[in-house]
Structure 1
Amino acid sequence: MTDQLSPRRRTGVPRAEDKLHDVAVVGGGPVGLLMALLLTRRGLDVAVLEQRTSRSIHSRAIGIHPPALAVLDDAGVGPALLAAGVRIRRGTARSRGREVASLSFEAVPGRHPYVLAVPQVITEQLLEEQLEALRPGALQRGVHVHGADDDGATVTLSCRVGAGPGSGTRPGAGPERAADRDAEHPAGPDTSTVRARLVVAADGAYSALRRQRGVAVRTRTYPDAYLMGDFADTTPDGSTAVLFLEAGGIVESFPLPGGTRRWVARMPGVVSHPTAAGLASLIARRTGIGPEPESCTMLSAFSVSSRMPRRLVAGRLALIGDAAHQISPIGGQGMNLGWLDAAALAPIMAAALRGEPTAAALRQFEADRHRAAATATWQAHLNMALGRPLPPAMLAARNHVFGALTHIPGAHDAVANRFTMH
């Protein structure tokens, strides 16, 4: 990342004769969009290539932690997100109807002493609107990137135009299967190329570019599975996040805008055919609170695994987000971790495009982001362990220790800082 570049602008779908971009960002999810925003605000010509033809309506990641909120402020979307979200200033843990522990986020460092809960579809919309305002046409949907040719000065991306849900994958196909088909059938009738000086792969945990570049990945599968759903909020908990530490497994409860609440229940295995009524019944059995099944607006069953690439920079390609570190979603750190990747990488890329030497900065970037991912993985592992089923006697003993710890002022602040990614 040392070549001198001059920013250029483009719009429209990819074509082989298009001008050279400063940076191509592969993946138009929340991490890729923020990366593009940060680079665009530095005066760079950025193209974002996204396989999906439209934003997913499903709300997946919801929690935005204080360090990421500061980055989003710098990108110009902080105020809009704050207006759209719920500020979680307190979390509590309960067991068998009694409070075990309580955490206040009021004392966390920085200008945002809370976790902001925003449905991911809204977060993506606000990021996309901000990018469109700064560089119209930068986001190109329905473009699947399946290969990259790095000649040492530029990168040529091989694309299929018109790929995405309903074209590049069939309903119900898992990401591994879709990736395998891409490798077997890398070209189609609607193919094109995009050229850029540098490339950012923000194309998810099964990153096609990461695999195409031969980056080795350490994978770990966990024995944990969860069932998640969004229901109308019938609790008195308001903006408080609640963990129900029960013998049958944890149930997590988080406020969302619009009088909605997210429920996440630890399961003995992945539920193949989840129903709102089934999840509501399980929540009621464990917590005594019964969400209304007919109010459910989202339902998802998932297992947990982690993927850690051995390197994050390969020639003129850099990995961020889930492409750089897939961790358990329990704890809500993954999207935030990707945003912090983008914040760390953007100034390095800008310096490289000015012709400045960046080798040492890239080595530090890799070391720092590997360290941050390891810390987040450890925290997610601890969160999952906290939620596993326990015999009643062991559960009571564990809860007593957990509660006592959060009543020690210094320990309370340390735990609160850890849960908010400080």
Structure 2
Amino acid sequence: MPDHDVLIVGAGPVGLLLACLLVQEGLRVAVCERRKEDDDRTRAIGIHRPGLEALEAAGIGDAVRAQGLRLEGGEVRSRRRTLATLTFAADRPVLILPQPRTGALLRARLQSLSAEALILGCDVTGIRQTAEAVHVTADAADGRRELSAAVVVVADGVRSRLRDDLGLGWRPRTGRASYAMVDVIDSAPGARAVLHCEPEGLVESFPLPDGRRRWVVRVSEGRGLEGIEDFCAAIATRTGVDLGLPPDVRPTAFVAAQHTAKRVHRGRIVLLGDAAHEVSPIGGQGMNLGWVDAVRLAERLARSAPARMPDLTAYDRQVRRSASRAQRRSAFYMSMGAPAPATTVRAREVLMRTLGSAPLRGWTAGLLTMRGL
């Protein structure tokens, strides 16, 4: 008999949520995380309605609401003019909560459900599948470990080594751009986002809890900003906003790209979250989509007897279909913020005004809040 019903590789927000759901169903769960310390990078901040429903199912919905900032809506601007204004309806809320705080809530919840489930400093180096179980080799603080489970879920992120070892493929999709961002004290705290779709490239401004705000600037591929002075200068040139940040603030550079695994499962091994699909953070759908996948996967695993091979064919198709929809939306959002000549800028300004008009405003807000995914 395997040591565990389900072993999860990776203790990011998606892997932790799945673990909570499975333990609540009475399954024996282990989560192997190679890091020994918490990941304190802010990273994802948006929680959409499908993600909030998943967090509620895991038992932390109230805590997320209490700590998160509810985003009232947003504005789209270009060349110092407001093109569209959206308000998010009460039935499709968007909460803003930095990923480390969401992760901390999920870790606390898992520990309250199963104190031994999370194994930190446990780096999974090999997986071998048999007809009855999956056997895992891991390097841990106390030496090499050999573990087994009826099902192994690989949730170790975009750069998953195990996905490559399993030969499940990693296919690029449309949508790629480079950005730099900083989180700073907000001189005029609010609850609305502003997107500047400028000829020189996108500038985003998102409110954060505790009177802070995130600024994101699109930069040329392969070329970052030299420092905070260049970052502030880019914002001032494109939007007219003078941040006046101190010289010791350092922008964080990142590349937004999109990929999908050709398959998300092989026998008793399943990919989940960013290991299964990379969705551009523009639009804020990647983490939430991973949570939705986790809920679907938990339902299927809970319905199967622990040692029985679950049928994941339909789940595989559903995951890849939802990811494809999200990636198409994100690719569109990215195109609206790409550097462009005057003729293209004028054309997309007309399109954005149309999408923000009264007849289409509700439909557009639904797309931005993950309706249909």
Q: TM-score, normalised by structure 1?
A: 0.83
Contact 1:230–1:297 under 8 Å retained in 2: no
Residue 414 (structure 1) aligns with: 363
Distance 1:321 1:218 in 2: 15
Residue 239 (structure 1) aligns with: 191
Distance 1:296 1:72 in 2: 36
Shift of 1:154: 1.2
Deviates more, 1:146-155 or 1:210-219: 210-219
Percent identical pairs in the alignment equals 39
Is the aligned partner of 1:24 residue 2:7? yes
Contact 2:150–2:307 under 8 Å retained in 1: no
Contact 2:5–2:306 under 8 Å retained in 1: no
Shift of 1:82: 1.1
Deviates more, 1:217-226 or 1:70-79: 217-226
Distance 2:351 2:175 in 1: 25
Shift of 1:275: 2.4
Q: Deviations over 1:38-75 (max 9, x none)?
A: 10111111111011111122100000111110111111
Residue 74 (structure 1) aligns with: 57
Shift of 1:322: 0.6
Residue 367 (structure 1) aligns with: 317
Residue 289 (structure 2) aligns with: 337
Please tell me the residue identity of whatever aligns with 2:146: T
Contact 1:232–1:291 under 8 Å retained in 2: no
Among candidates 318, 328, 336, match of residue 378 of structure 1:
328
Over the aligned positions, Cα root-mean-square deviation in angstroms equals 2.1
Please tell me the residue identity of whatever aligns with 1:416: A
Shift of 1:96: 2.5
Pick closer, same or farther for the CA change 1:316–1:418 going to 2, 3 Å. same
Residue 134 (structure 1) aligns with: 113
Among candidates 314, 317, 320, match of residue 266 of structure 2:
314
Paired residues, number: 371
Please tell me the residue identity of whatever aligns with 1:147: G
Distance 1:344 1:296 in 2: 44
Pick closer, same or farther for the CA change 1:78–1:297 going to 2, 3 Å. farther
Among candidates 195, 203, 211, match of residue 156 of structure 2:
203
3-state DSSP class of the match of 1:56? Answer: coil
Distance 2:330 2:319 in 1: 16
Shift of 1:235: 4.2
Shift of 1:295: 9.1
Distance 1:43 1:413 in 2: 41
Q: Deviations over 1:186-217 (max 9, x none)?
A: xxx93211211111110111222222222122
3-state DSSP class of the match of 2:277? Answer: coil
Shift of 1:312: 1.1
Please tell me the residue identity of whatever aligns with 1:330: I
3-state DSSP class of the match of 1:269? Answer: coil
Pick closer, same or farther for the CA change 1:276–1:212 going to 2, 3 Å. same
Q: How does 1:75-154 map to 2 (within 5 A)?
A: 75-106=58-89, 110=91, 113-154=92-133
Is the aligned partner of 1:227 residue 2:206? no
Distance 2:105 2:247 in 1: 26
Q: How does 1:50-65 map to 2 (within 5 A)?
A: 50-65=33-48
**Structure 2 regions of 5+ residues with no counterpart?**
none
Contact 1:221–1:304 under 8 Å retained in 2: no
Pick closer, same or farther for the CA change 1:267–1:309 going to 2, 3 Å. same
3-state DSSP class of the match of 1:158? Answer: strand
Pick closer, same or farther for the CA change 1:221–1:418 going to 2, 3 Å. closer
Q: Deviations over 1:340-397 (max 9, x none)?
A: 11000001111123577742xx221111111100001101100110001122343133
Residue 192 (structure 1) aligns with: 145
Shift of 1:325: 0.5
Among candidates 344, 347, 353, match of residue 394 of structure 1:
344
Pick closer, same or farther for the CA change 1:334–1:295 going to 2, 3 Å. farther
Contact 1:229–1:279 under 8 Å retained in 2: no
Please tell me the residue identity of whatever aligns with 2:327: T
Shift of 1:78: 0.9
Distance 1:130 1:357 in 2: 28
Shift of 1:330: 1.3
Distance 2:70 2:37 in 1: 28
Q: Deviations over 1:236-277 (max 9, x none)?
A: 6x1001101111111011110111101111111244565233
3-state DSSP class of the match of 1:258? Answer: coil
Distance 2:210 2:233 in 1: 23
Please tell me the residue identity of whatever aligns with 2:107: E
Q: How does 1:249-264 map to 2 (within 5 A)?
A: 249-264=201-216
